[in-house]
Amino acid sequence: MGIGATAGVAAVGGIALTAQASDDTSSNSSDSLAFDPDGYTELTTTITDADGTDHSVTYHFWKAITYVAKPVDATYQSLNVSVPVEIDGTAVDATNAPIVFANSVGGYMPSTVAEATGVGGGEMTGAPTGGTSASASPSASASSSTGTGEVQSGGNAMVNGMGAMVNLGKLGLAAGYVVVEPGARGRTLKNSAGEYYGVAPAAIVDLKAAVRYVRANKGRIPGNTDRIFSTGTSAGGALSSLLGASGDSPIYDKYLKELGAADASDAIFATGAWCPITDLEHADGAYEWNWGTNVTASTSKVVDQTVSKELQSQFAEYQASLKLRGLNGFGPLNARNYDEYLVKQYLEPSATTYLAALSDADRATYLAANTFITWSGGKATFSWADFLTHVGARKKTTPAFDAFDLSAGENNEFGKGTTIARHFTAYSLKNDTTGVTSKRLDSDIPEMLRLMNPMYHLVEKANPNRSKHWWIRLGTKDSDTSLTVAANIAAAANGLGDDVSHLYYWDEGHGSNTDPGDFIKWIAKVAGTGKKRGK
């Protein structure tokens, strides 16, 4: 499966276009779902790899291909494809290269590739930019749902900072991989009738449809469609995790059929997830268990401890129900020992790696400023309580995700019809401050939660068609979510026998990616393609 130094143009451009056979003639036999191998533009760009080395990359670029036969809004339901044909003057045949499936979702907001002029051009938006849907109209912007939830950090912060994040699509292209960048609907999209058409489960359904499009076009679209590596950060990391966990799950079939998705598998080979904002119905309890005693950045005060403790109790009950075991033989994970597990499995190793990489002088300076760390024998040790003090203020108030006043981005994510935001936990519904009189969650909420939670597919269902390779990363100072969320995904996948690479970046915050070169090499390793460019 190696990427050879052969004539790439012939291998990429010389594939005959044939119609995709399907029993569903109303959606899947449409020529709109047949990839045109000759419909590219040839571009050349300079890409700097993770080691800081510049590479001249010539590639074929297919722009804004609608990946479903019956799109709700093709501005978002389209994807770009980039295929390298020459790197630093050497021809590349990417016919069987791994495919990097890089989403640009943040804050569960819409993402589009429609305006991209080349690889890495996907962007998160707060409102439609004039889609092809006849009903598209300006939606609620990010400011419609400020407050305590994802929009506050994973939303607005990512709008301002997304461009500064590591572009794994570009690094993948420079390594000789095929890059697919899918757009997806998001929670703020609203049509002329005032209906929110990008709320749950739209984003995951769209990404699944995009995977199906790629897999249905095996032999036409360049790259190995059996070696798809999904990537995403924040809510995009959550969706990447969900994409990996839920491969070919039948609970999405009716939604995919409505869109005219291709009749193909939506399972992916491997999952890359950075700071995933997920397991939302349990995220409030996990957040309080982790950060409940820290002051809040916006108020410099500790949150209501009665609420915090009630939510922590919910986390304890939930964590026990998962029956997960920690990595490296730690044993059962519960609310009583999770702090010890995080310290020993992730936090002390993370600090040790960070400190060991410093010069003697810089290490001494850091340790002098952070006396809670004991440095002995080339290893860092400290307590959980001291770690929390080191992190300092938490980012979110309480509840962090299902806000009592419906102000969180996640409340918007579970909106429906013309209703911008809804509660998705019984606890927050009970404590609602907006005047909601219902005593029960809306009847469709349990289904929406199953559709949006990777833990459902890893624990409750143990989906056999899930991704079997996992790359999960989180910053130790990321208080956009609980440190337990990523660790639970890793523990669940590991318990199923999957290949799991999971670590935390010391002193890094939300959206961090400090080892992108290692991820690129990991792709080559698990895909079986050998050593590649893009260190």
Rg (CA), the chain: 23
Q: What's the confidence (pLDDT) of residue 125?
A: 75
Q: How far is 291 from 303, CA to CA, in rounded Å?
A: 10
Average pLDDT over all residues of the chain = 87
pLDDT band at 32 (very low <50, low <70, confident <90, very high): confident
pLDDT band at 401 (very low <50, low <70, confident <90, very high): very high
Would you call the peptide bond into 399 cis, given omega within 30 degrees of 0 as the criterion? Answer: yes
DSSP states along 315-333: HHHHHHHHT-EEGGGTEE-
Convert the pLDDT of each residue in 346-369 to its tens digit: 999 999 999 999 999 999 999 999
pLDDT band at 165 (very low <50, low <70, confident <90, very high): low
Residue 362 CA, chain-centre distance (Å), reads 34
CATH code 3.40.50.1820 region(s) in the chain: 8-280+453-527
pLDDT band at 217 (very low <50, low <70, confident <90, very high): very high
Convert the pLDDT of each residue in 466-483 to its tens digit: 999 999 999 999 999 999
Q: Is the pLDDT of residue 407 over 50?
A: yes
pLDDT band at 59 (very low <50, low <70, confident <90, very high): very high
Q: Is the pLDDT of residue 202 over 50?
A: yes
Residue 320 CA, chain-centre distance (Å), reads 26
DSSP states along 223-292: S-TT-EEEEEETHHHHHHHHHHHTTT-GGGHHHHHHHT--SS----SEEEEES----HHHHHHHHHHHHT
Q: How do beta strands 111-112 and 123-124 pair? A: antiparallel
Render the burial of 123-151: b for 16+ CB within 10 Å, e for the rest: bbbbbbeebbbeebbebbebebbebbbbb
* High-pLDDT (> 90) share of the chain, %: 83
Strand-pairing partners, residue 474, are 504
Q: Which two tokens stand for residue 117?
A: 């002029």
For residue 20, the one-letter residue type is: Q
pLDDT band at 121 (very low <50, low <70, confident <90, very high): confident
**C-alpha angle 163/164/170, rounded to 5°?**
70
Convert the pLDDT of each residue in 13-22 to its tens digit: 222 222 233 3
pLDDT band at 120 (very low <50, low <70, confident <90, very high): confident
Segment 456-467 shows an average pLDDT of 96
Architecture of the domain whose range is 8-280+453-527: 3-Layer(aba) Sandwich (3.40)
